[in-house]
């Protein structure tokens, strides 16, 4: 079963490996200068022991190098989960129904449940490995900016290893279930894209800010001996206070940067739970059809 599954999906595996390699080259070429400047221009020293003048050093570094965070390569890679769901998940079983090969597979000596679980396991593990590789490369590339940019921004958060992997597995699970229900590859691909966007957008914009109770700071309460401590915070809302007040006393609602990994694990748990539930539906559907 392992050999057969590999033969059926080696093209997708090759494309995925090429995608990871291209991103690795991009990260290496654009990341090495930033890593070198981070060390040689005194940014790391400033972050470790802030002194007068460090603000300018860090700001210049961030303005000069962090622009690639919005590069087309990075933005396109944010589509990887949806693409994986469409081109790996949707055809996985839909193609079997379209071509009629499921009938041959189910008449062999391999039990039907083992046939299904083997395919699901190998494909999801391979997909997870690719997602982890992309996230790991991004983590190295973005390391110099972790403390000086908001880690809750779109790219840094979406490429976190737990979230990116869970998003990808969820999209693949959506594609697999769509393929089983529709039995046609192209319609299943379209449904996968629509469902993924319909879930991912509201989760990111509506649900994510409420994973934990935000903190509230009044005036200069967040000012500490480390001037960079709040640079990575996620500011949700700011109230500038009374307009006619002689001394403005702004109120900021925010999530501290220290919550980044907690938010990553919470969102990953949500998507992984959904993925497991969808794959469970696939197993039940195939089992009932087999019965």
Confidence of residue 291 (pLDDT cuts 50, 70, 90): very low
Q: Which of 38-52, 93-107, 270-284 has the highest mean pLDDT?
A: 270-284
User: How far from chain centre, in Å, is Cα 177?
Assistant: 21
Count how many domains the chain has: 1
DSSP tag of 85: I
183: left (phi over 0), alpha (psi -120 to 50) or beta: left
Question: Mean pLDDT across the stretch 145-174?
Answer: 91
Q: Is 235 helix (H, G, I), strand (E, B) or coil?
A: strand
Residue pLDDT, tens place only, 257-273: 889 999 999 999 999 99
H helices of the chain, in order, are 2-40, 43-48, 54-65, 72-77, 80-84, 90-99, 101-106, 112-142, 154-158, 161-182, 185-202, 260-290
Asked whether 33 and 65 are in contact (CB, 8 A), the reply is yes
Cα distances (angstroms) measured from residue 136 to each of 20, 74, 124, 132, 147: 10, 13, 18, 6, 18
Alpha-carbon distance 282 to 85, whole Å? 15
Sign of CA dihedral 177, 290, 105, 284: positive
Per the model's pLDDT, the better-predicted residue between 190 and 227 turns out to be: 190
Q: What is the pLDDT of residues 191-201, one digit of tens each?
A: 999 999 999 99
How far is Cα 158 from Cα 151, in angstroms, rounded to an integer?
A: 10
Encode pLDDT of 7-24 as tens digits: 565 676 777 788 889 889
pLDDT digits (tens, 9 = 90+) for 133-157: 999 999 999 888 887 878 888 889 9
Residue 77's domain comprises 2-290
Distance of CA 19 to CAs 89, 134, 250, 261, Å? 17, 9, 46, 26
Q: Of 80, 273, 289, 87, whose CA–CA distance to 188 is shortest? A: 87
DSSP string, 231-244: TT-EEEEEE---TT
Positive or negative, the CA dihedral 53, 56, 59, 64 is negative
Query: What is the C-alpha end-to-end distance of the chain, expressed in Å?
Result: 22
Angle between helical axes of 112-142 and 2-40 (0-180°, round to 10): 10
Local structure of 225: helix, strand or coil: coil
How much is the pLDDT for 158? 94
What pLDDT score does 248 carry?
53
Burial of 109 (0-12, 13-18, 19+ CB in 10 A): exposed
Least confident window among 164-173, 174-183, 247-256 = 247-256
Whole-number Å distance between alpha carbons of 126 and 149: 32
Cβ neighbours, 10 Å, residue 66? 15
Residues 78, 3 contacting (CB under 8 angstroms): no
pTM, full prediction: 0.85
């Amino acid at each position: 079963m392992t050999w057969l599954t590999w033969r059926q999906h080696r093209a997708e595996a090759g494309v995925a490996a090429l995608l990871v390699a291209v991103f690795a080259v991009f990260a290496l070429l654009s990341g090495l200068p930033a890593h070198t400047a981070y060390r040689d221009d005194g940014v790391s020293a400033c972050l470790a022991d802030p002194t007068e003048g460090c603000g300018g050093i860090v700001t210049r570094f961030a303005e000069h190098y962090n622009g690639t965070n919005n590069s087309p390569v990075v933005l396109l890679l944010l589509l990887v989960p949806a693409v994986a769901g469409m081109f790996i998940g949707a055809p996985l079983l839909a193609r079997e129904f379209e071509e009629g090969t499921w009938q041959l597979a189910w008449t062999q000596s391999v039990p039907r449940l083992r046939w299904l679980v083997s395919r699901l396991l190998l494909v999801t593990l391979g997909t997870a490995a690719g997602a982890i590789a992309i996230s790991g490369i991004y983590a190295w590339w973005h390391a110099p900016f972790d403390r000086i940019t908001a880690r809750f921004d779109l790219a840094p958060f979406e490429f976190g290893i737990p979230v990116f992997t869970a998003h990808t597995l969820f999209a693949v699970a959506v594609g697999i279930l769509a393929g089983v229900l529709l039995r046609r590859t192209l319609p299943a691909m379209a449904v996968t894209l629509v469902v993924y966007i319909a879930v991912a957008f509201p989760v990111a914009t509506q649900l994510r800010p409420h994973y934990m109770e935000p903190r509230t700071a009044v005036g200069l309460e967040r000012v500490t001996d480390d001037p960079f401590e709040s640079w990575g915070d996620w500011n949700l809302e700011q109230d500038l206070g009374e307009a006619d007040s002689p001394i403005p006393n702004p109120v900021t609602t925010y999530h501290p940067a220290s919550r980044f990994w907690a938010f990553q694990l919470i969102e990953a748990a949500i998507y992984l739970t959904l993925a497991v539930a969808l794959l469970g539906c696939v197993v039940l559907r195939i089992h009932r059809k087999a019965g």
